[in-house]
Amino acid sequence: MRPLDRACRKRGCWPPLPARYASCVAVSDDTTRDDQARLLIEAGLALASELSLDVVLQRIVELAARITQARYAALSVLQDGAIREFITHGLSPEGRAAIGPPPTGHGLLGLLIREGRPLRVDDIAAHPLSVGFPANHPPMRTFLGAAVVARGQVFGNLYLTEKAGGAAFTEEDERAVQVLATQAGVAIENARLYEETQRAQGELRRLEVLEERERIAKELHDGVIQSLFAVGMSLQGAAAVAESEDMARRIEGAVEGIDRAIRDLHNYSFGLRPGILADRQLDQALRELGAEFEERSGVVTAVDVDPTVAAELASVASDVVQLTREALSNVGRHAEATTCRVSLYRTRDGAVLEVDDDGNGFDPTSASTGLGLANLRDRLKSLGGALDIHSLNGEGTTVRATLPL
C-alpha cells in the first residue's frame, strides 16, 4: 500500500482515487509536513502522467484545493497581462453560470498579476484592494495565491479560498502551493510540447499526402493525358482517310470522347495540385491559380486580391486555395463561360472570396448541383464561414465565400 493510501485510510477517505489522478490528497488539521510533502510528490507524478493541456489545467486546481484544504480553487491563464481563461474547482456548473462572466483581473487578482509574488490574505473584504464579489458569488474570506511559471514566463495564477474550518492559510500552505505551482509549470510545458509534437506530426503527414497528390497529378498530366492526346491525333488522321462517311463520323465521335476524357483528367489533376502554395504567399498563389485555369480552360480569368486580407488568412491559406480551385473547377466543367473573376476582399463580416462568371448559370436550389457545391459548403463550415450563391439561367453565377478574420 502506498504511503498516501495509508494516510487516506487513516482519515476515513478510503478508497482513494486512481493512482493516475494522485489518489486522495485531502489534508486534515493534523497533517504533518511530511504528509504534505508526500502529497506533493503524488501530485507531481499525477501531473507528469497527463499529456492533455486541458486535463492538466483542471487537475492543477483540483490538487491545489486538496493539498491546502481549500473549498474553492481557480487557475487563471494569462495573455498580455490579462485573464484569457479561468478554470475553477468547487463550483457547480450552475453556480458558475449564475455568477456570470469570469473575472477580468481587478482587486486581489490584479495585485497578484502585477507583482507575481505569493499572496496570503486572512480576510478578503478587509484588504484595501478588495473590490467585492458579483451577485450570486459564494462568500469567501481567506485567500492564497501563487504564480504558475512555464517556459520562463508567467503562465497564470493559482487562487485558493475558504480553507476548511474557517482557518487561515498557513506558511506551510503557501510553500506547498509554490511547489505545486512549480510542478504545474513543468506539466504545462510537457503538455504543450506533446501537443506541438502532435501538430508537427500531423503537418508532416499532411505534407506527405500533398506530395503524393502532386506526384499523381504530374503522372496523369505527363503520362496518361499525353498518351490520350496522341491517340486522339492518330484517330483524327484515320478519320481524314476513312473509306466512308459513317466510318469517319464514328472515328470523330471517338475523338470527341477522348477529348472529354482529357478535360476530365485535367480537372482531376488540377484538383490534386495543392503544391501551388509551396513557395509563395496566398495572393501570389491565387494569381497563379487564375493564370493556370485560364491556360487550361480558355476562360479569360481576372484575379483581384487584397494582399492585406490574404496575409490575414495565412493560417488557412491552403483551404482558401482549395475553395478557389473547386469554384474554378465548377466554372470549367459546367458554366461554358468566356470570362470569370476571382476576388478576395474585406467586408464588415470578414474576408470574402468571390468567383463569378458570365456562363450559363443554373438553379442553386436544384438537387442536381452535384458534389462541387457540397464540398465548398463543407469546407467553409469547418472554417466557421458561410457560402452564398447567386445564379440565374443564362446570366452567369457568383459564388461568395465569407471567412472569419
SS3 of 269, please?
helix
- Please report the pLDDT score of residue 14 as a whole number: 34
> Between the ranges 50-54, 181-185, 278-282, where is the mean pLDDT highest?
181-185
Percentage of the chain beyond pLDDT 90 is 15
* Mean per-residue pLDDT over the chain, rounded: 78
* Cα gap 400→327, rounded to integer Å: 10
Residues 142-193 have pLDDT tens digits of: 999 888 887 777 888 899 999 988 889 988 888 888 888 888 888 888 887 8
* Cα gap 210→186, rounded to integer Å: 36
Residues 107-145 have pLDDT tens digits of: 888 888 888 788 888 888 888 888 888 888 888 999 998
Strand duo 119-121 + 143-150: pairing: antiparallel
Which domains are seen in the chain, by residue range? Answer: 3-198 (3.30.450.40), 279-405 (3.30.565.10)
Name the least confident of 18-27, 67-76, 132-141, 157-166: 18-27
Cell of 9: 485510510
Residue 75's H or E segment, with its range, is strand 70-79
Q: What angle do CA 18, 20, 22 make, to 5 degrees?
A: 75
Residues 361-405 have pLDDT tens digits of: 888 776 445 556 777 888 888 889 999 999 888 889 999 999 998
Interval 37-61 mean pLDDT: 78
Write the burial class of residue 205 (CB in 10 Å: 0-12 exposed, 13-18 middle, 19+ buried): exposed
Tell whether the model's pLDDT for residue 341 goes beyond 90.
yes
Please name which of 279, 349, 350, 277 lies closest in space to residue 309, comparing C-alpha atoms. Answer: 350
Q: What angle do CA 207, 211, 212 make, to 5 degrees?
A: 120
Residues 6 or more apart whose CB falls under 8 angstroms from that of 269 comprise 216, 217, 218, 220, 221, 225
Residues 249-259 have pLDDT tens digits of: 888 888 777 77
- Please report the pLDDT score of residue 45 as a whole number: 73
